[in-house]
Structure 1
Amino acid sequence: MGKMIVRLWRRGFLSALNRGGDPHISDEDLTARARHLAARRHLVAEDGQTELTHALATGLHAATELLEEAGLSRRDARDRAGVAFLKSGQNLARWSMRLWLWVTPDPVGHAKAGNKLAERARMAWGSGLTVHQENGPDHATLMVTECVFVDYFWDAGRSDLTPILCAWDAQWMEIVNASDRPVSISRSGTLAQGCEACDFCFKRKAKLVYSAPFWDRLRGPGHGHG
């Protein structure tokens, strides 16, 4: 499953990358450079999660290097690769977050139960992230204290690429904040900015500002979560 997800992601990333115009990058060149970067940094995929994290980091890094070698400036190569990288994650962010919002009457309560934010982060990213969860009466906060992407790009001398991964997270945060569900998400800082943690705070909105979940709207008046 991990290899299939990586292939699908790389295909979408490469398509978005080449929509930016010349120079075009081939799948063979991108794959070969990503493998070279992984070998140079002694990256070993222990499971599907680490395989995906390595693919994302080395794929972005490889695309940027190849664009620079084809004649783009360092900044232009970074910007073009960054735009393509974000596009490659838009559909996943859109559908996964909308589905969660669609079926969950109380997103914050759901997140707090069993420390689901930390649990889901570990399921998605494995050992790539060190996380814990802090809960309060009206919030659940995921604290990321170590991040494979921050470490990778720092070690590679390309910390200028790390904010692109931070922007990837901002995409799903924006989807949640634009919804009419009883939750908002904020992040006061990131590891890439020198903070001690990336803090993703899921906070419950006042009841009056949100609509009922999809199921309750189907049930009709008088059956909502008052």
Structure 2
Amino acid sequence: MAYVGDKLMAAEGRWFMGRFAPRELLDGIDRYLRLEVGDDRVKLLETIRLRAEEIAEQDQDMPVDPQSAGMLALTSTVLAAYETLLPVFDDDPRRTILFLRHMVGAVARRPFEVVFEALGRRKEPLDVIERACRKEGPLYGTYYDIAFDRQSPDAFEMRVERCFFRDHFARHGSPALTTVMCAWDANWMRAVDPAVSGLRAERTTLMSQGDDACRFRVVATDDPLATYHDALE
């Protein structure tokens, strides 16, 4: 049964990364461009699509499983969008990256919130969150190196020590673009509500900022107003 579950998670990972997320990202960019550039958006979106296909074809040697094949489609779309939209943002890399971070962060925001809000309402919420994080391993596939550590009864850490997103962007000389993908994790960290679960989340290090790993911690707190800490911000 666990094997069947892993196969389903792997299929979901490829679909989400390779189809759903790129489509949602382009839809979000389209809505923005409608307001900013009008009909010119059609040419810009087509440029992004064609460039994304070119990048994905060029880097076919990177994926090692269906999940990372899906990730290649997504990171190729992000990279193509960055290259194409940079002039729209006055050739300002920071503004362009912040825009894309916002766009990617909005993809699947509500599903993340619903899942982790629900987990926080259960008995022994830290145990439940730990099991959920471990269970999601097949979603990311074998390219990733992810370690889990229950440091104490009141603290759980997840470390990502190898990341497809970072490696693909670094191959193209744009490691800073990895922060665009880091926006996803802020969704679930914000959804861990200390007032409901007695837990708070934090991300203390990021490979996208030169650290050796991305470290996520969920810790017990008796402060219902405790806020999550994120090294990205």
TM-score of the superposed pair, with normalisation by structure 1: 0.76
Q: Which residue, out of 21, 36, 51, partners 1:33?
A: 51
Q: Hey, what does 2:67 align to over in structure 1? A: 49
Counterpart of 1:222 in structure 2 is none
Identify the range of structure 1 (190-199 vs 15-24) with the bigger mean alpha-carbon deviation.
15-24
CA–CA distance in structure 2, aligned partners of residues 46 and 194 of structure 1: 24
Q: CA contact under 8 A between 2:68 and 2:164: conserved in structure 1?
A: no
Aligned-pair identity in percent equals 20
2:196 aligns to what? 180
CA contact under 8 A between 1:183 and 1:203: conserved in structure 2? yes
Report the more deviating stretch, 135-144 or 91-100: 91-100
Render the CA deviation track for 1:59-107: whole Å, top value 9, x for unaligned.
11111122236685142433333322222232232233233334x3222
| TM-score, with structure 2 as normaliser | 0.74
Equivalence map 1:58-73=2 (5 Å)? 58-68=76-86, 72-73=90-91
Query: Which amino acid in structure 2 is aligned with residue 203 of structure 1?
Result: V
1:154 aligns with 2:166: no
Deviations 1:160-217 (A, max 9, x none): 21112222212221121465212211121111222222111111234x859xxxxxxx
1:127 aligns with 2:142: yes
Report whether the alignment pairs 1:92 with 2:111: yes
- Alpha-carbon distance in 2 for matches of 1:43, 1:146: 17
Q: Which runs of 5+ in 2 are unaligned?
A: 1-10, 226-233
Identify the residue that residue 20 of structure 1 maps to in structure 2: 32
Once the 2 structures are TM-superposed, how far is the Cα of residue 43 of structure 1 from its aligned partner?
4.2
Give the secondary-structure state (helix, strand or coil) at the position aligned to 1:49.
helix
Q: What letter matches 1:92 in structure 2?
A: P
The one-letter amino acid paired with 1:67 is L
Structure index of larger Rg: 1
User: Does residue 194 in structure 1 map to residue 213 in structure 2?
Assistant: no
Distance of aligned partners of 1:100 and 1:112 in 2 relative to their CA distance in 1, 3 Å threshold = closer
SS in 1 for 2:211: coil
Residue segments in structure 1 that go unaligned for 5+ positions in a row? 211-226
Matched residue SS, 1:73: coil
Partner residue of 2:126? Answer: 108
**Cα distance change on mapping 1:168 and 1:111 into 2, 3 Å:** closer
What SS does the aligned partner of 1:127 have?
coil
CA distance in 2, matches of 1:137, 1:60: 39
CA contact (8 A) 2:104 2:183 kept: no
- Secondary structure at 1:105 match in 2: coil
Q: Give the whole-Å Cα distance in 2 for the aligned partners of 1:187 and 1:70.
A: 31
Q: What amino acid maps onto 1:169 in structure 2? A: D
Deviation (angstroms), 1:41: 2.1
The answer to whether the Cα contact below 8 Å between 1:43 and 1:54 also exists between their aligned partners in 2 is: no
Partner of 2:159: 143
Question: Could you say what secondary structure the match of 1:140 adopts?
Answer: strand
| Counterpart contact for 1:49–1:126, Cα < 8 Å | yes
